[in-house]
């Protein structure tokens, strides 16, 4: 919001037409949003020919905020509104009730790796193509240097992509262990407990937040795995599968987790077969499990976090580009991530070693030939090769280069959605 307001002022919009309200301020929390906006319009004598740009931080703190947005739109008040909220569950719930056709929801992911490097004043420029396949193909051919990024990626992985944490880490000299513990402590309070005990209960009127927390804990232990509703329900004192699906949807709508259906040529088959679960930010998973320093000394756990990092980046790109994201599993073969772009579909296997087996990708290409030339093995230390020129249709891309490419492509897609 700050950048948008700044851009308007730099473009010559008079300051009296740009307003900012922080709606979690104690003096504003109990006031009707309509009364506030009416006063602003009246003081400035604004009209359709001279509308205001109104930025509403922590929008959901305002009383009846969704009904007032509906009113502003339906009655054509002379205002253009951009709002934000840390309570994503409330926004997404209200959108289904009042917002259809009246306002548009934009998903803003936690920082991606490219944005993280910019924040720490170590940007890496990645030229983008028409789509992710073109961007990765060009990078694989040109092989730009990415030396020195491994340590920064590790710290990013452990800290998470939440701006408050990253800004604090930027001015800190703490070691990895201290950053990891600080991240878990803060996210446990600000992301996990706030969502479980405040945002979700208020938005969806659930009466058992403790069960929600137990579910999140169980899911955190299965990150990157195939969900078994039956097994999870049994582990949670035999709750019904209907309750499980409902609570899982709340966690997804609160942007804590996301699920990927199993890819096939049939929409019906995708819906029937097992989903794979990831966290929007792996640091939230660490906080939910209260893992302490365990990720630092466990290669298996670090591997799961790396896979989640790759998945969360593609998920952000998927949200901005409206391209569906899947996993694939069939008769013992599997592929981690399937990015089903309509023109240049892609598939990725996230590995910890350059020697990772390609059997799953080969089987996938056999069943779905349209992916040939668009499949990649992604690993921390691997030589880049272009999938489109590989004999087996499978290329390779270093993890850091993959993260940077997806970050850059996501930024382009977000700008297109915002009309920038």
Tens digits of residue pLDDT in 342-381: 999 999 999 988 889 999 999 999 999 999 999 999 999 8
Check residue 301 and give its pLDDT. Answer: 92
Record the tokens describing residue 34, joined without a space: 């309509």
Check residue 167 and give its pLDDT. Answer: 87
Mean pLDDT over the full length of the chain: 90
Cα gap 81→140, rounded to integer Å: 42
Burial 246-257 (b: 16+ CB within 10 A, else e): ebbebbbbbbbb
Cα gap 226→330, rounded to integer Å: 12
Cα gap 208→205, rounded to integer Å: 9
The mean per-residue pLDDT over the stretch 90-98 comes to: 57
State yes or no: pLDDT of 97 exceeds 60.
Answer: no
Cα gap 330→284, rounded to integer Å: 30
Cα gap 72→224, rounded to integer Å: 43
State yes or no: pLDDT of 96 exceeds 60.
Answer: no
Check residue 109 and give its pLDDT. Answer: 87
Q: What percent of the chain has pLDDT over 90?
A: 69
The mean per-residue pLDDT over the stretch 280-296 comes to: 93
Record the tokens describing residue 256, joined without a space: 């804590």
State yes or no: pLDDT of 95 exceeds 60.
Answer: no
Q: How far is CA 120 from the centre of its chain?
A: 20
Place of tokens 């319009």: 41
What is the number of other CB atoms lying within 10 angstroms of the CB of residue 10?
Answer: 8
State yes or no: pLDDT of 149 exceeds 60.
Answer: yes
Check residue 355 and give its pLDDT. Answer: 87
Check residue 273 and give its pLDDT. Answer: 62
Task: Identify whether the C-beta of residue 78 lies closer than 8 Å to the C-beta of residue 41.
Answer: yes
Check residue 91 and give its pLDDT. Answer: 60
Check residue 348 and give its pLDDT. Answer: 98
Sign of torsion, CA 287 289 291 296?
A: negative
The mean per-residue pLDDT over the stretch 82-95 comes to: 69
* Cα Rg, the chain, nearest whole Å: 23
Record the tokens describing residue 117, joined without a space: 């490097």
Confidence band for 98, pLDDT divided at 50, 70 and 90: low
Confidence band for 11, pLDDT divided at 50, 70 and 90: very high
User: Which is more confident, 270 or 412?
Assistant: 412
The mean per-residue pLDDT over the stretch 32-54 comes to: 94
The mean per-residue pLDDT over the stretch 251-268 comes to: 88
Check residue 398 and give its pLDDT. Answer: 95
Cα gap 47→50, rounded to integer Å: 5
DSSP E strands, 14-158:
18-22, 52-57, 79-83
Task: Identify whether the C-beta of residue 131 lies closer than 8 Å to the C-beta of residue 397.
Answer: no
The mean per-residue pLDDT over the stretch 99-127 comes to: 87
Cα gap 72→92, rounded to integer Å: 19
Question: 3-class DSSP state for residue 332?
Answer: coil
Task: Identify whether the C-beta of residue 392 lies closer than 8 Å to the C-beta of residue 347.
Answer: no
Element containing residue 364 per DSSP (H, E): helix 359-367
Contacts of 313 (CB under 8 A, 6+ apart): 112, 113, 402, 403, 406, 407, 410
Task: Identify whether the C-beta of residue 192 lies closer than 8 Å to the C-beta of residue 216.
Answer: yes
The mean per-residue pLDDT over the stretch 384-406 comes to: 96
The mean per-residue pLDDT over the stretch 275-289 comes to: 96
218-247 per-position pLDDT tens digit: 999 999 999 999 999 999 988 999 999 999
Check residue 89 and give its pLDDT. Answer: 61
Distance from the first to the final alpha carbon of the chain = 14
Parallel/antiparallel/unpaired status of strands 394-398 and 375-379: parallel
Contacts of 387 (CB under 8 A, 6+ apart): 136, 137, 140, 373, 374, 375, 376, 393, 394, 395
51-83 per-position pLDDT tens digit: 999 999 988 888 888 899 999 999 999 999 999
Cα gap 367→372, rounded to integer Å: 10
Parse the chain into domains and list their residue ranges.
2-99, 113-418
Check residue 264 and give its pLDDT. Answer: 86
Cα gap 203→90, rounded to integer Å: 5
Task: Identify whether the C-beta of residue 387 lies closer than 8 Å to the C-beta of residue 395.
Answer: yes
> Judging by beta carbons within 10 Å of its beta carbon (0-12, 13-18, 19+), is residue 130 exposed, middle or buried?
exposed
Q: How far is CA 243 from the centre of its chain?
A: 25
Confidence band for 339, pLDDT divided at 50, 70 and 90: very high
């Amino acid at each position: 919001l700050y950048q948008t307001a700044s851009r308007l002022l730099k473009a010559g919009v008079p300051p009296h037409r740009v307003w900012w309200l922080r709606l979690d301020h104690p003096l504003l929390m109990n006031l009707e949003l309509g009364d506030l906006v009416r006063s602003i319009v009246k003081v400035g004598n604004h009209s359709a020919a001279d509308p205001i740009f109104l930025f509403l931080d922590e929008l959901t703190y305002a009383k009846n905020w969704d009904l007032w947005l509906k009113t502003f739109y339906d009655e054509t008040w002379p205002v253009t509104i951009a709002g934000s909220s840390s309570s994503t569950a409330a926004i997404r719930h209200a959108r289904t009730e009042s917002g259809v056709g009246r306002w548009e929801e934009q998903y803003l992911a936690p920082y991606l790796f490219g944005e993280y490097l910019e924040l720490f004043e170590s940007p890496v420029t990645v030229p983008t193509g028409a789509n992710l396949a073109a961007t990765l193909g060009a990078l694989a051919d040109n092989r730009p240097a990415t030396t020195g990024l491994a340590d920064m990626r590790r710290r990013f992985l452990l800290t998470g992509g939440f701006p408050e944490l990253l800004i604090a880490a930027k001015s800190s000299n703490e070691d990895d262990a201290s950053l990891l513990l600080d991240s878990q402590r803060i996210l446990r309070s600000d992301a996990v407990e706030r969502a479980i005990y405040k945002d979700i209960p208020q938005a969806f009127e659930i009466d058992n937040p403790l069960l929600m927390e137990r579910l999140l804990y169980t899911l955190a232990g299965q990150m990157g795995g195939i969900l078994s509703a039956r097994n999870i329900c049994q582990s949670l004192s035999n709750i019904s599968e209907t309750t499980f699906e409902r609570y899982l949807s709340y966690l997804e709508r609160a942007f804590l987790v996301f699920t990927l259906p199993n890819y096939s040529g049939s929409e019906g088959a995708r819906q029937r077969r097992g989903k794979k679960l990831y966290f929007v930010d792996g640091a939230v998973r660490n906080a939910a499990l209260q893992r302490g320093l365990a990720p630092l000394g466990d290669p298996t756990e670090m591997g799961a976090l790396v896979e989640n990092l790759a998945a969360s980046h593609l998920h952000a790109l998927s949200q901005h580009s409206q391209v569906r994201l899947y996993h694939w599993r069939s008769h013992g073969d599997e592929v981690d991530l399937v990015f089903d772009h309509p023109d240049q579909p892609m598939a990725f296997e996230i590995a910890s070693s350059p020697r990772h087996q390609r059997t799953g990708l080969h089987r996938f290409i056999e069943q779905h030939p349209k992916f040939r030339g668009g499949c990649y093995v992604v690993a921390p230390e691997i030589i880049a090769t272009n999938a489109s020129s590989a004999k087996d249709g499978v290329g390779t891309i270093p993890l850091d280069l993959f993260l940077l490419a997806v970050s850059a492509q996501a930024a382009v897609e977000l700008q297109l959605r915002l009309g920038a």
